[in-house]
Each structure stands twice: as structure tokens, then as C-alpha cells.
Structure 1
Amino acid sequence: MGQVEHIVIVGGGTAGWLTAGVIAARHQARMSHGFTVTLVESPNVPIIGVGEGTWPTLRNTLRGIGVSETDFLRECDGAFKQGARFNRWTTGEPDEGYYHPLMLPQGFARLSLVPHWQTERATTFCDAVTPQGRICDAGLAPKTIATPEFESLANYAYHLDAGKFSQFMQRHCCEKLGVRHVLADVTEVVTDESGDVTMVRTQQAGDIVGDLFVDCTGFKALLIEGAMDVPFRSCNEVLFCDTALAVQVPYADPDDPIASHTISTAQSAGWIWDIGLPTRRGVGHVFSSSHISADEAERELRAYIGPAADGLTVRKIPIRSGHRETFWKRNVVAVGLAAGFLEPLEASAIVLIELSAKMIAEQMPPNRAVMDVIARRYDETTLYRWGRIIDFLKLHYALTKRTDTEFWRDNLRPETIPDRLLGLMELWKYQPPWLHDEFDRAEEVFPSASYQYVLYGMGWHTDLPPGEAQRERDQAIRAMRENRQQTERLMQGLPRHRDLLDRIREHAMMPV
């Protein structure tokens, strides 16, 4: 039957250590009965660390593996993230922008507020249905020092230093969860006559034998591509950005405000991210090399940063946009960059790692005989998730009214928009997205609320049937009034973002 007891994760970084932590925490009771989790990591390969943004799912992931939120924030240069603000995406005008917050619209489980908001448009859609845009505008945190760890007053995720996060997770996995850490370079992936991987040969530690291998070797994809020969499916015809220029920007003053949201500012052939950490800002330009040269893109990046960019070193990162045709083949499953990568517009990379690790851990094959059945289910779910992320990222481009450069004009061409998204956009002309209308899978990466925020933040209009805005009118008026009241309470009660992070470092949060 070939019992599956020895899990070997090849590669570290965020993907490797998050996967190791989720699997080891889930199967702690089996550790004393021979179940093992081994992570093999090269001492000579640097961490790419592209993404510093996460989604709220990371709170449950960290809590589930026994991490202290206080320790995490202190040791990973962490900050709170309450969503993203998109500047100049719709018209390109300097003062134009909208929020994609992490809080659901008020009363979202009961009714959609879109019809009622459209009749008046007295304020932005975000401000009409959630407090979070105004909280971010004011530079406030999503909780207070008295709020227990992982709990919130306004929903939040994190910004973090990816390198420090990997080190933090390594210590936690090895010291608390019993993960075996092997520092060694893989020289050969050995397969048997059936095609399964039996072991990885290493230069420093000999042979590492396993039953299930998780490929977290990044773009090298040593197992899923090198041993399993699984092809890569490009999506460059949909998402044009293929290069990133990243730089770390120090604060002019140690007490400078820290934005509690990601700032994404559209450029002539891409966009610039701006992420605030306690000690620095992470800033980068994601662009299409078919539409702008690297030198021109760097000039746009430095112009965005201003005088603070003088003397700073810019790091160039290639983006291979797409994913594997199959994610789990035989006894190898790819997670992280080995599975694929998309531009970091909505911080989807770490979410996919979490969801993948969780599914592997929860559906861990008891033996080799049923592994292929689980692999097919895993592939179906994972392929769906990648497709929906591609749709959602493309939506930001497909809704633009910008025609000032070839990049933005090319993004409007129907042949560059996935068929499923084209169909939904046709539907949304007459029916706003809401709950399970088009989003029927468990653990959707982007729920229908996210589509509402982007659509109506970018000026979309839905032609509703006559009288539709009057249906549930009293409930809608009540929900919007509750949102205004909640906004005022939070604006008065929440601390400044930097002040809270300073207090957490000094005093710690209450444990759950």
C-alpha cells in the first residue's frame, strides 16, 4: 500500500517554511508514530522575497500553527495591511483613485448595497459601505493594543519582510513543530521505475528519502519540471507585465507615518507598489518590457520616489507570468514559485501558498494507492484558483478608461481578456456581483465583494431593472446608517498605525 509517512519539502523561503509549518502542525499527533516532515534547503540560494503583502488568511494560518502575533510582528518587521489603494488606474489623472478594502460591505450577508448606492452616489462606494477607506486615509491601525492577538476591529492582513519571515518560520517550525531542517544542495532527483521520486541526493547530507515531495525550489522547479517534466502555461497574452524593479526606501524621519494599506499607482506601462514597514518602505515598479525599456521604467520609479531615491540600488526581478499545467504529478506537488507566479497586484502569492499547504495537510494521502485520486482533486481546485486570480488581476486593466499609452490600449483589446471574465463583465452590466451569483467555490481567493470594490471604484455602472433600488430600501438605508456610525466610532477609537506598532514592540498584545 506504500504508507505516506515521510514528507520531504525541497526548498525554503516563504513557500517551503509555510508549507512545512502547516503540515507539521496538522499532523503533530502522528509525529510520535513515525510521521516526519523534512525541509531540504540550499545554503547557497538567496530568497527571492518578491512579495511583502498578504491576505487576512495568514492570521488564521499563523494562529493555527501556534505563532504569537506579537513575536511575528516584532521579528518580521511586520505592519498591518487593511487593503489596497489604486491610484490613476481609471483615468490616469493625478488625484484619481479608489480602495479595495479588506472589510466586507455593511450587511453583505443580507443584501447588496450596490442598487441603493447607485441611486445617489453621494460618496464613493467604499466609503458608503465600509469604514476602512477612511481609516486608511487617516493612517489608523485596524485594532488597539487591548485587542487580543489575531482579533480585529477592522479586518486586516500584514505587510512583512519576506526574508525575516522565512527565518522566523524556520525557527518556529524546527523548535516548536519538530520539522527536520537539512542545509544541503540537491545534486540529483532519483525516481523509480514507476516514475515516482524516491529520494533527493544532496552534496552535503547524502540521500534524503521520502514518500511525498513538495517542490518549493522557486523558478528552478527542480522536481515538478526537472523530474516530472510538467509544462509551464504562460499567461503573458493576458497579463503583460513581465519585469519588476524593487528598491528599499528609508524613512526621512523615524516617526514618519506608516500606511496601513498597499499603494498601487499606475504608470505608463505598468504600476508601482508602495508598502510601508516599520523600518522602511518597499517600493517597486512592475512593467511590461514590450511597452517600456528597463531604463525608462527605472526613471519612472525614481521620479515616483523623489529625492529619497538618490543613491539607492534598484534590484531587477523577472516575472514569468503563468502556472504549471499540473501541480501534483505522481508523488510530487509544486507550491510557491515552482507552481507559478503572477504580478503582485493583489498580493495573491502567499495566499496561494497557504491554500495549497492547507489542502495538502488536510487531504494528506494515507498511502500511495489513493494519492492519484487526491492529486486530481488538488489539481482541479488549484487550477480553478489560478484562473480566478488571473481574471481578477485582468479586471483592473480591463476597466480602465486610459488610452494615453499603447500599454493601456492593448489591455482593452477583447482578445486579451479571458472568456469567463468577458462573460461576467457582460452580466455585470445588468446585475451586480453578489455572494454566490458567480462565485460558488469554497475559499474563493477573491469573493464577490472584491469585485464590487474594483468595479464601482473604477466607475462601473450596472443598469438595474426599474424599481430595483426600492427593493429592501429600508434595510439598505439602515445598513448605510450603521456604516456611518461604525466609521465614526472607529475613527475616534483607533490609534495611529505607527503608534500601535511601537506599543506592540514595547508591551505586546494580549494572547488569545
Structure 2
Amino acid sequence: MAIKAILDSIVIVGGGTAGWLTAANLAKSLNCDKNDAIKITLIESPNIPTIGVGEGTWPTMRKTLAKIGIDESEFIKQCGASFKQATKFVNWKSNPLNGENNHYYHLFSSIYDPTDFNLSPYWKLGYAGDESLTYANAVSPQALCCELGLAPKQITTKAYDGLQSYAYHLDAGKFSEMLKKHCTENLNVHFIADDVIDVCLDETGSISGVNTQNSGLIEGDFFVDCTGFSSLLLGKALNIGFKSVADTLLTDYAVTVQVPYDDPNADISSCTISTAQEAGWIWDIGLANRRGIGHVYSSKFMSHEDAERILLEYAGPQAKGLMTRKIKMEVGYREKFWHKNCVAIGLSAAFVEPLEASAIFLIEAASNMLAEQFPRQRVGMEHAERKFNESFKFRWDKTIDFIKLHYVLSKRDDPFWRANKDETTIPDSLKAQLAHWSVQPVSNYDFANVYEPFPLESYQFVLNGMGFEQNLEPSRALFPMVDKATMSFDKVKKITEFAVKDLPTNRALLNKVHQHGFSKI
């Protein structure tokens, strides 16, 4: 069979968040609702359930939803979504002392962009005034808003706009169904509900089609592997190996449970709560109608039975009698993400523990890059492949470094936590950064690559929140803008006072959204 020079059909194998979000992004970007556009087909098995635990997003999701044409109010209503403004890390700094928890916030934003004026060294040098003032509270009203369960906006705020930066917590299953409906009804994505039983290769070693149980052979010019951990196309058919990072990120299991509220008007947390445990940590995500709770742990340091017991004790009486789900986690990434005419997106490409909710963001990033760099002519495939692989190797390595950072900075003394601080488990790149930052403030020059998944601001929230020891005293003269810094800290205090008075609670705003919806864009 002759090899086509022009690529005009894409087949996505696998649904879930990865498959349907990729389909939506490609469809919207490649204008597949026009007659001369690329044909996009998605094949989803009716027999394979999705993992369905990726329920935290980044603020980028607002832009993504707006881009693909989904109304924010309808999204919130249909996906059980709530507003997320941060992650609250409980007991990560150290073991609880005399029963007293410790915590800090990784916020989505501060009042001042640190690339314009960096308040962190001024806070470190004591110019914020009150020594008990945390870094998060010194630079943003969001930490206090999260403590009070406040929303990031008002009902009169336009859709996707915010008085403060925000993302969402969402029901992954409902989100996938909404995306499926939107793709098939509004974006001209062709849907086939079937099981792929075989992958066909041509004489060049590229994928020519997939055989399905009931629909026969589905041919295509380009294929996207969204088949989850099985990596049916990239891993199995194209033999692209998997690079494990289990020697760096030591957790290998999660046990999860979905807990309904005991009161339909119960408060909803405005942040993801991450609480450190003896051999891992527990996530707690508040949706409109329930909490999604999961215990991520290392089976080397804790039995599955103990992990489940700790999860249910944390979840409280409402979890009694509820079914839990155990998930084996293979942490790492494919040696290549794009090979020949196939790209893996989602779990088929990589997986790291969900500590910083990076999974959906990296799906967004991968589908965005694929859409923008998609080679309509086969002659452009090799260059696009190389750039994509370079970009996502960098992004995943940086994500692994950032997650490991949380463990390395902890002063917890449980065996699991001590193992995480063993020099042999820490990437050299992270060691070098920490050595540099021990005597220098974090700088924008440390983040020169446009594809950095976690910016300067994120590192500052974690380093300062975890009490990273940084000796800036010899460099005090390098920070002469003391008056501007103190005025900035004072401004944050005033804005915080207004925010606390003016913003509704997360629950109150969600109730209004369900009743009235936001103003249209």
C-alpha cells in the first residue's frame, strides 16, 4: 500500500479524560467541523473502566474549556465541580508535635508577579514585619481565603474570570462524559464504541490501522494512544520501553474511596488537602456532592490492610461500609512519547503520583502541542516527533524533581520519609538546585525553558512553606527596595481584608451557579 504524503485522519484509541480532552483540543484546533478538515475518530472500549481518580486541575483548565467551547456554568453543573485555589500540605514539614498539625499552602498566585518584583527574599530577611506571618499569607490573600472556605469570585464575575486565580476539582467520570457529548455533537468527532484487538503495522513500522472486535479494521494516518497503563499502541505494538522512576518516587499504590457529605449544604474545601502519613500521604478533594479521598503509599513500608485502615479512619464515619479501590502505580515515563505516526498522551505516556495534580495539566499540554505542531504533510513528521519528545522528556523530568522536592525538604522521621532523603534517591538536578538556593534566592533565570511545568512561584511556595534553610544575610545589600517591599506587604494585608469580607463561600457560590449561572463571556 502506498504511503500517503498528506495526513488527513487521526485515530485516538482510548477515551477517559486523556482521550476525550485530546479529541476536543485537536478538533477545535484543526477545524474538524469544516469539510476540508482532518477527520478525527475516537475508539473507546465499552468494557474497560477508566482509572477516574484524576480530579484536580490547574488554572490552565479554564482557558482549555473556553477554547473548546464549553460553558463554565454547565461544566460546573454537569461535572460536580468546585473551585480550587491551592493545595494545603498538612504535616509535611514534620511529624505532628504533641498532636498539633503543621501546614503550608502552595497557592496558584500571589499579588505580585515574582518575575517583576520578587518578595520572597524580603520576606526571608524579615521585612514583612510580623515574624509569624507565613510566606503564603504575606504575598496573597488566597491562603486565608482557603482557610475560610471562600470562593475565588462572585456570581456577578464573568465566566472563566476570577478575582483570584483558580482551577477546579471535578468528577473525572462525569467530565469524560461531558467531553464525549461535546465532541460528538459539536466538534464532529466520530465515535466508535469497541474493543481494539490488534494493531496493524505497515512496511515502515508505522501504524496503519487497528482491528476492532465488532467494527473491523479502522485505518488512519496518525494515531494517539490513550489506552492508559496498558499503552497498547506505543508500548506494546511499537515496543517503546518504559523508564521507571520508582527509585526516586517511592510510592507504588493508592487506595481510594468516594465519601458523600452528611449534609447537602456542608462546607466545601477551596483547596486540595494533602496530609502526610507514616508511609505516604492522603489527598482530600471536595466536590459539590462528595469528597474524593485517596491514600498514596509505599507497599515496602506499609501493608495494604494498614493503608486502607488509615484511609477509612481519615475519611470518618461517613465512609463506613463504602467500597474502596486499590490502584497499582507504575511511576515513570515512556522512553519516547512520539514514535513514527503515534503519540501517547495520558497514562500511556507517563505517570507520577498525583501530589501536585499534574496529570490533567500534562494532558492539556500534550494535546495543545500536538494540535499546534501537527504535521499535515508526512515530510514534517520527523521534526515534529523530535521536538515533542524533547519537550515532554524535559517536562516529566521537571515534574519528578518538583514532586521529589516535597519529600527531600521534610523533617519527618518515619522510615519511609528517611528513605526519601537518601542521597541515592534524589536526582542530581534537584541536588544542584537546592545547593544553589541555600545561598541564593530562587530566580527567574533558574527557569529559562518555556516548557517549565512549575514556575518560580511554585518553588517559592514549597521552599518557604517547608522551612527550607536559606542564608541570604550576606546578600542583604542586594535587596535595597525595602520601602517598596514593605508597601507591598501592607497592600496584601488590605486586599486580604477586602477579600475576606466580599467573597462568598465555595458552597454558596456553587449553589448560585446551579441556580443562575455566571454571566456569559
Q: Shorter-chain TM-score category? A: over 0.9
Q: Distance in 2 between matches of 1:467 and 1:71?
A: 51
Gaps of 5+ in 2: none
* Paired AA for residue 154 in structure 1: Q
Q: Does 1:69 align with 2:72?
A: yes
Q: Distance in 2 between matches of 1:75 and 1:442?
A: 34
- Counterpart contact for 1:116–1:469, Cα < 8 Å: no
Partner of 1:87: 90
**Which residues in structure 2 correspond to 1:446-485 (within 5 Å)?**
446-464=454-472, 465-468=474-477, 470-485=479-494
Displacement of 1:116: 1.4
Partner of 1:371: 381
Q: Does 1:125 align with 2:128?
A: no
Q: Distance in 2 between matches of 1:31 and 1:216?
A: 25
With over 3 angstroms needed to count, the CA separation of the structure-2 counterparts of 1:475 and 1:330, relative to structure 1, is same
Q: Distance in 2 between matches of 1:105 and 1:268?
A: 35
Runs of 4+ in 1 over 6 A off after TM superposition: none
**Which residues in structure 2 correspond to 1:307-322 (within 5 Å)?**
307-322=317-332
Deviations 1:267-299 (A, max 9, x none): 000000000011100011000001100011111
Deviations 1:418-441 (A, max 9, x none): 000000000010112132x21112
- Counterpart contact for 2:157–2:519, Cα < 8 Å: yes
Q: Secondary structure at the match of 2:316?
A: helix
Q: Secondary structure at the match of 2:446?
A: coil
Q: Distance in 2 between matches of 1:320 and 1:109?
A: 36
Q: Secondary structure at the match of 1:181?
A: strand
Which one of the candidate residues 228, 246, 263 is aligned to 2:273?
Answer: 263
Partner of 1:25: 28
Q: TM-score w.r.t. structure 1 length?
A: 0.98
Partner of 1:304: 314
* Paired AA for residue 457 in structure 1: G
**Which residues in structure 2 correspond to 1:220-259 (within 5 Å)?**
220-259=230-269
Displacement of 1:28: 1.2
Q: Does 1:115 align with 2:118?
A: no
Equivalent pairs counted in the alignment come to 510
- Counterpart contact for 1:139–1:258, Cα < 8 Å: yes
Displacement of 1:27: 1.3
Displacement of 1:508: 0.6
Displacement of 1:452: 0.3
Displacement of 1:109: 3.2
* Paired AA for residue 236 in structure 1: A
Deviations 1:62-94 (A, max 9, x none): 111111011100000001110100000111114
Partner of 1:444: 452
Q: Distance in 1 between matches of 2:113 and 2:36?
A: 48
Partner of 2:422: 413
Partner of 2:108: 102
Deviations 1:448-502 (A, max 9, x none): 1000000010111321134347511122112112211111111111001101001
Which one of the candidate residues 484, 504, 512 is aligned to 2:513?
Answer: 504
Partner of 2:61: 58
- Percent identity of the aligned residues? 46
Which one of the candidate residues 2, 6, 9 is aligned to 1:3?
Answer: 6
* Paired AA for residue 366 in structure 2: S
Q: Distance in 2 between matches of 1:29 and 1:66?
A: 14
Q: Secondary structure at the match of 1:323?
A: strand
- Counterpart contact for 2:391–2:451, Cα < 8 Å: no
* Paired AA for residue 191 in structure 1: L
Partner of 2:301: 291
Q: Distance in 1 between matches of 2:125 and 2:432?
A: 25
- Counterpart contact for 1:115–1:468, Cα < 8 Å: no
Q: TM-score w.r.t. structure 2 length?
A: 0.96
